[in-house]
A and B are shown apart, each in its own frame.
Chain A
């Protein structure tokens, strides 16, 4: 086939293009997935029974703020990474900011507590449940984020995959926070932060395979 013929074919009866398609697809996908993740957490684990007490609400707020910080930053990056050459314009390390904040808060909290309490503060009651739940709840959000990124045209597939994993981990951590009764900053830093990093690494590994176009 002649290239001129292909160009003519593609230009015949051209349709205008939606100018916000990339951003809209991603935002709608993440909003839908956040609701779905909360539903999965509620159906699978149930919300914590003491949800209305002040102490529970304060820690819920910390966990959710951390998760939303991670999700929001990675969503902003993903709208760039879903475009060709979009990776040129971002500083991926900025996304480490929420992690840094929570680690610093955890260190302060450990520093002001007696050493004998450290193990209990870090391991909590349900570290294993947290370690398993966040990645499992993240599966559906990850699949939907990958679908949304595929609607665009990523050219750095491992990085786009990593951010899809990060956003899935963030959304999942937010949903899991409604169930989790381990209220200590070191627990959040280690088990929330750690599992979100795991989701990110999984996304980076799967990106090149899942995002090819």
Chain B
């Protein structure tokens, strides 16, 4: 059964139960991927997954239910389940539905058919060739080429009828390198490149992954102490992504973000400006509307150190007496509407990366962070994270160091940024949410090594 037919059954059940306000959110994700190992294709996968989420307003509460089974019986059951679930809710501020007649910016969405299995195979094998052409690379390199076609439809009782179709493709190249000794040291790194398969620069991606992996061979331990730390563009983007939840009005209103009641106050160093942009030029998935169907827009979240706005959906905006920022989010079609940024990026400064290292003089350059889901506490802001990178000595990057930690607090870190470079990297995320940053110099963090 297709979504349109399913929708008619749901409409008729809603009418029978006298449900006046409801929405059907439909998502279908078709994907294809091929992986390779030892210059041979290993796994091919062709998936088609999605479902329908219904939310309906009953006595001022929005109940949810979802299903992947599209049949008349499941359509009718879906409405009854959502009504049942609404009955126990107690939240003070109800969710609202977006009326028809909004104006949306035309996004650069491209709806293309998925590439053929042959094309994916060709890409993934070319990726293997590119990796094995790099010096120091050893057996074990894996590559993957993938494509996803995402379809979203939002249909509600206020006449809203939105559709979005978009295709993303790309490749992942993982380089494994060794120091050449028997039973010697191995290291690995990977690079995700997004774009049309024909347009991917696989040799450049392979070189970058292998160079980064090789640079870390022979790494020693970092000395413990409080030193200036430079986060590379990639590491800082990872950290931003981990702490993005602190900018959610939902978390603030639930008492789970320390930025509660901080709008209009200084929360970062004056050189910090943080932007959320659904139409970021290198975004893999520009979005003209959010998960509620509200139009999206670019906004400064932090402007010259001052928190300009948190991110809102309709419900949290109404609770705060504000307008939505168009950041309604569903991490999956079956989820309750929450809040999330699109492409969130730290605005570049004027220094080159070399000048930033020069400014740091003696400290540590962190190129990668690990265990962010565990070692970073979003509520308190405290973090202690596994790191790898290089020593900075006399303003220059010198010996590689690894298996050390960097510890601090995100909210203090924002205030302790003393330099921002001009070297942002394109987003690596194949979705509408991504994080981008240039390299950043931070004072006052603690390193634990030897």
Q: Does A associate with B in a complex?
A: no
- A→B interface (CB under 8 Å): none
- B→A interface (CB under 8 Å): none
